[in-house]
Amino acid sequence: MQTDMGKYNLQSNQKKISPVTTVTTGTITAATATSTESALRIGRTAGARGLRIGMALGLAGLTAILNVSLAAAPVPQGNTTVTQGSNPSNPSDMRRTAIVVATEKAAPSVVSITVHHSAVVAYGNPFFQDPFFDFFGPQYRKKEMSSLGSGVIVAKDGFILTNAHVVGSGESGELEGITVTLSDGRQFAAKLVGVEYANDLAVLKIKADTLPVAQMQERPDNMIGEWVVAIGNPYGYLISDTKPTVTVGVISAVNRSFSSNSGIHYHNMIQTDASINPGNSGGALVNVDGKVIGINTFIFTGGGQSQGSIGLGFAIPIQKAKSVMDELIRFGYIREFTTGIYTDPNGEDGRPGVTIVGLDRASPGEKAGLKVGDVIYEVAGKRIDSFQDIQDIFKLLQVGESVDILYLRGNAKLRTQMVLEEKNKKHRIY
């Protein structure tokens, strides 16, 4: 603490010296002068010491007050409250952060998935390289293959959410079986309930008791910059540990949309810089409350030899994953829906949007107030520039969903909500 000493007036209690005893013919003796200077020095020293002692006592009192206040003030750490200074001998209290608590809540519900496929493949026999043996034809054999991924237990009756690409497609060969390994080491044969390739989601089911079930986020209130934890099983249990791996990052962006060469359309994805590595697909993206907010799905890599995470990972929002899961559990497939809207695939004079050229009576489009001639230029927050754009968006939607639509009627910009209904045979899907 720095103090301006010039603001203080230090005075000594010196006495006036009698001229009779101390002064002779106007001359101050050496003894008298020395006595006076000593008295002045003593006075100044005493005053300065008094000031320093007072300041030191004041600072000590202030420090004591602050320490008492800090010790009494609880500091929230996620779902754990830590009292600073309450137990200085136990540093573990300070290490138990919100990330630790969230991991403890969610990690037990993340499982390792091993998928077994078989395929008949052609192979070359070195003894049949001679053209003489061409009449034997090509040689084939059955090849066993396995792939690894992650999943999340989302219901106590054994339902597990994962990615469709973890389970594989018909090109992967014939499905021979699926094994699910829990974090406590238990293993179960899993049944494939259903797959939805357009959204890259699949549902499995195991028969087991006392399953750890993940808590899912109810509404998408994700914040850019908030901490998240990616939990999965890179390399499965090949590293001799059935417990999942945890990486930490933040939500980098929301509502990211992509289309892949394989025909999969990813809509409203959550972007994170938490590392998502091969084998993490199908695992959980968790917030600091320990709630699953997404299913880890894919990453962008550096290309070439760099196949690991570069801080660009993406997860399917859990709300979308849950709606797909509910459809697969209830029906075994995703029901087709209708809008009852017919549009001009060629657009109008190159301007953005698609023009409505027909409407089914009592269809969702008509119920939403749309009319022939209206130009739809935005659906579900996505700009429509072509007929393909509107098709790609509707491929990601499901029966019962409410869709926000912006359209032009003349020069007026209008907005409406359309609820998708299950498709009848006479209705088109878009």
pLDDT of the residue at 408: 93
Residue at a domain's end among 38, 72, 106: 72
Please state whether the predicted TM-score (pTM) of the whole model is above 0.75.
no
> What gap in Å lies between CA 330 and CA 324, rounded to an integer?
10
Which residues does the annotation mark as catalytic? 165, 200, 281
Instruction: Indicate if 265 and 357 belong to the same structural domain.
Output: no
The answer to whether 353 and 390 have CB atoms below 8 angstroms apart is no
Instruction: Indicate if 319 and 341 belong to the same structural domain.
Output: no
Tokens 């009592």, located at residue = 362
Instruction: Indicate if 315 and 360 belong to the same structural domain.
Output: no
pLDDT of the residue at 173: 72
- For the chain (430 residues), the mean pLDDT of every run of 10, in chain order, is 38 38 36 42 51 51 43 43 52 83 95 87 60 60 82 96 86 83 93 90 94 93 95 72 89 84 77 86 95 90 54 89 92 87 70 88 93 92 83 81 92 94 58
pLDDT of the residue at 138: 63
Q: Does the residue 318 lie in any domain?
A: yes
Q: Which two three-digit tokens encode residue 351?
A: 């301007």
Instruction: Indicate if 318 and 354 belong to the same structural domain.
Output: no
pLDDT of the residue at 175: 85
Q: Does the residue 98 lie in any domain?
A: no
Q: Which two three-digit tokens encode residue 242?
A: 């059935």
SS3 call for 373? coil
> What gap in Å lies between CA 40 and CA 38, rounded to an integer?
5
pLDDT of the residue at 316: 94
Instruction: Indicate if 327 and 370 belong to the same structural domain.
Output: no
Q: Does the residue 222 lie in any domain?
A: no
pLDDT of the residue at 395: 75
* Number of domains observed in the structure of the chain: 3
Burial class (CB in 10 A: 0-12, 13-18, 19+), 250: middle
pLDDT of the residue at 309: 55
Residue 255 sits in a domain of what CATH number?
A: 2.40.10.10
Residue 36 sits in which domain range? Answer: 30-72
The answer to whether 421 and 338 have CB atoms below 8 angstroms apart is yes
Residue at a domain's end among 72, 105, 131: 72
The β-bridge partners of 76 are 81
Residue at a domain's end among 40, 72, 104: 72
pLDDT of the residue at 338: 86
